[in-house]
Structures are given as C-alpha cells and as structure tokens.
C-alpha cells in the first residue's frame, strides 16, 4: 500500500457501482469517481492514489503536479498547532499536512492561510501521506544567478523558503535566490510569506542581497516630500531657498517653520537627493 499512495500508476477497472469504478492494483482496491469520465470494466487506467479525509482509498485521473518525486508550490489552507499546516495540492477531498517538525519553532513564523510552500509528498510507516518541504539544493537547482549590472536597486517580489539565524532566504518570481540580512528588515518574515524588497547587491555566485526596508526617499518626512515636490515641478529642478533663507520666506512659501525646513533639507541632503549652491536648493538628477 505504501508504495501506491502519493504515486501515479496504472490499475485495472474490475467493477463499478452507481457512483464509482473500482480500480485494483497489487490486490488493493481504490475508488474512481464516475464524474471524472466514462470507463469500461477490464480497461487499464492511469491515475493518482491517495486516502481521503474519511480514510477511503481513492484514485483520480486528474493527476496533481505535486506527488512523490515531483515538487510544486502549494497554498496553505489552515494550520493546527499540534500537527502542522494543511496545504492544497489539488485534491477535492483531501488536504495534505506539512508536519510541525518541519516548521519553525516559533509559532508566529509558521505559514498563514494563503502563503505558498514548495513541497513534494512522502508516506510514513502508517500509510499516511505528508507534504515535505523542498531543501536548499532543490531551490538552487531551480534558480538562476543574478547579474549585478542589471539587478542592482531593482524591486523584487518572492516567497520566503528558509529561515535561519543569519537571515532569511527567498526565491523571486523570476527564480533568483535572495538573502535578507536581519538588519535589512523591520521584522522577520514568515515561512511561505510573499515579500517585496529591492536588490542592494549581487554576490559573485549570483545570489541577491535584498532589503525589505524602503528607499531613503520613501521614508523621508512629509515636509521633505513637499520640498521634493516643489523641486520636481520647478522648471530647472531648483528653488531659490536654502538653510540661509529667512523664516518669513520659508513660512510664506512652504507654511512650515525654518527649523522644520532645515531638518527636511538635512534629510534630503543625507539621502543625496538635493544639494545647495549659492542660496539655491537643487534637485540631484538620477
């Protein structure tokens, strides 16, 4: 039985009732739903074998991508703290469990509903089917190296597949491997979570260093953003104001104090978004 579950094989149809065909392999009987299509007794049919939620032996000709020896991304449906998380591999009457033994020790880092995990199937000595996580070698095999000149500072989105003390590993939608150092995130992502960040470096082996923190201009104050807007809308990318301008000039134009203006300018200059010259603030062209 163990070698049949979670696998694709050919079996013979030897009987039927109103709802199902009976498929036999190695002396073991499985039920094939008649809604999947008409069959003839005595025919050989190819399908996938499993046990449903009611522990019935089932056989389906709609073969899931995920099975023993075949990996795929499966969506997380639910979790149970004493068991693990349930994933959908495309069976109408069966969800597969990823054991808690394969999940992070910290429960808050477990995948949530809607997250994705790259898994294949395995069976234990009690003929139970489990989903098992892909390992690092599997992800490396499906990945491609990043190119420094093309990837630097690019936005990327991907799925977290490994949590380690040194940082978080993700695989992007384009199949690049990304590494997120703890200093480049505000909180640790969950296993299976889809995250978006930017490439801050490309290693010689093609692995991307990714930051989940926003770019400097994305975290500047509203005052600094207002000044940037003035600069972007000016004809020559510069405005006749600087930290030497009077409080009255600043207040009349920007409706903020000189202190606020200087702090905003300071943050923009720190991010190398503007410069000052001869009483003008000038937008740095990227």
Q: What is the CATH number of the domain that holds 271?
A: 1.10.10.10
Regarding whether 119 and 164 lie in a shared domain, the answer is no
* Structural domain includes residue 246: yes
In sequence order, the β-bridge partners of residue 167 are 164
- Structure token pair of residue 7: 């696998």
* Structural domain includes residue 23: yes
d(CA 192, CA 194): 7
Regarding whether 206 and 221 lie in a shared domain, the answer is no
Regarding whether 251 and 203 lie in a shared domain, the answer is no
- Global pTM? 0.74
Regarding whether 272 and 228 lie in a shared domain, the answer is yes
DSSP codes of every residue in 115-134: -EEEEEEEE-TT--EEEEE-
* Structural domain includes residue 82: yes
Regarding whether 257 and 238 lie in a shared domain, the answer is yes
pLDDT tens figures, 111-145 = 999 999 999 999 999 999 999 999 999 999 999 99
Regarding whether 225 and 168 lie in a shared domain, the answer is no
Regarding whether 239 and 197 lie in a shared domain, the answer is no
DSSP codes of every residue in 57-69: EEEESS--S-BTT
pLDDT tens figures, 2-59 = 789 999 999 999 999 999 999 999 999 999 999 999 999 999 999 999 999 888 999 9
Choosing from 158, 189, 211, the residue where a domain stops is: 211
Regarding whether 128 and 76 lie in a shared domain, the answer is yes
d(CA 204, CA 224): 37
* Structural domain includes residue 66: no
Considering only CA atoms, which of 163, 136, 155, 165 is closest in space to residue 208?
Answer: 155
pLDDT tens figures, 58-83 = 999 999 999 999 999 999 999 999 99
Q: What is the CATH number of the domain that holds 33?
A: 2.40.50.330
* Structural domain includes residue 17: yes
| SS (HEC) of 173-210 | CCCCEEEECHHHCCCCCCCCCEEEEEEEEECCCCCEEE
Interhelix angle 247-254/258-270, rounded to 10 degrees, is: 80
63 or 216, greater pLDDT: 63
Q: What is the DSSP letter of 109?
A: G
Q: Which helix (H) or strand (E) holds 269?
A: helix 258-270
Q: How confident is the model at residue 270 (pLDDT cuts 50, 70, 90)?
A: confident
d(CA 217, CA 29): 65
111 or 218, greater pLDDT: 111
- The predicted pLDDT at position 286 comes to 57
- The predicted pLDDT at position 216 comes to 62
In total, how many domains does the chain have? 4
- The predicted pLDDT at position 219 comes to 64
Q: What is the CATH number of the domain that holds 120?
A: 2.40.50.140
Regarding whether 230 and 271 lie in a shared domain, the answer is yes
* Structural domain includes residue 130: yes
Regarding whether 271 and 225 lie in a shared domain, the answer is yes
* Structural domain includes residue 20: yes
Regarding whether 240 and 198 lie in a shared domain, the answer is no
Choosing from 117, 134, 151, the residue where a domain stops is: 134
Choosing from 211, 235, 252, the residue where a domain stops is: 211
- The predicted pLDDT at position 165 comes to 92
Stated length of the chain: 286
pLDDT tens figures, 165-177 = 999 999 999 999 9
Query: Half-sphere exposure of 277 toward its Cβ, with a 13 Å CA cutoff?
Result: 7
Residue 165: domain span: 143-211
- Structure token pair of residue 165: 């003390």
* Structural domain includes residue 1: no
Of all residues in the chain, the percent with pLDDT exceeding 70 is 98
């Amino acid at each position: 039985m163990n070698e049949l579950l979670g696998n694709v094989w050919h079996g013979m149809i030897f009987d039927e009732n109103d709802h199902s065909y009976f498929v036999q392999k190695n002396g073991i009987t499985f039920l094939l739903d008649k809604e999947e299509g008409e069959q003839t007794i005595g025919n050989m049919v190819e399908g996938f074998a499993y046990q449903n939620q009611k522990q019935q032996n089932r056989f389906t000709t709609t073969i899931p991508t995920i099975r023993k020896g075949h990996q795929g991304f499966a969506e997380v449906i639910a979790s149970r703290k004493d068991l693990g998380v349930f994933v959908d591999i495309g069976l109408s009457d069966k969800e597969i469990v990823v054991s808690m033994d394969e999940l992070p020790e910290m429960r808050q880092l477990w995948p949530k509903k809607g997250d994705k995990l790259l898994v294949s199937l395995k069976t234990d000595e009690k003929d139970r089917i489990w989903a098992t996580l892909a390992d690092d070698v599997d992800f490396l095999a499906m990945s491609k190296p990043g190119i420094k000149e093309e990837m630097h500072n690019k936005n990327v989105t991907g799925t977290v597949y490994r949590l380690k003390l040194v940082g978080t590993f993700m695989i992007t939608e384009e199949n690049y491997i990304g590494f997120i150092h703890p200093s480049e995130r505000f909180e640790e992502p969950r296993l299976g979570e889809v995250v978006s960040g930017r490439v801050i470096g490309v290693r010689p082996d093609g692995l991307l260093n990714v930051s989940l923190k926003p770019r400097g201009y994305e975290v500047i104050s509203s005052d600094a953003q207002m000044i940037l807007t003035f600069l972007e809308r000016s004809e020559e990318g510069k405005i006749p104001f600087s930290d030497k301008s009077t409080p009255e000039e600043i207040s009349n134009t920007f409706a903020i104090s000189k202190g606020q203006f200087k702090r905003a300018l300071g943050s923009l200059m720190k991010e190398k978004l503007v410069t000052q010259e001869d009483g003008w603030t000038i937008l740095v062209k990227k």
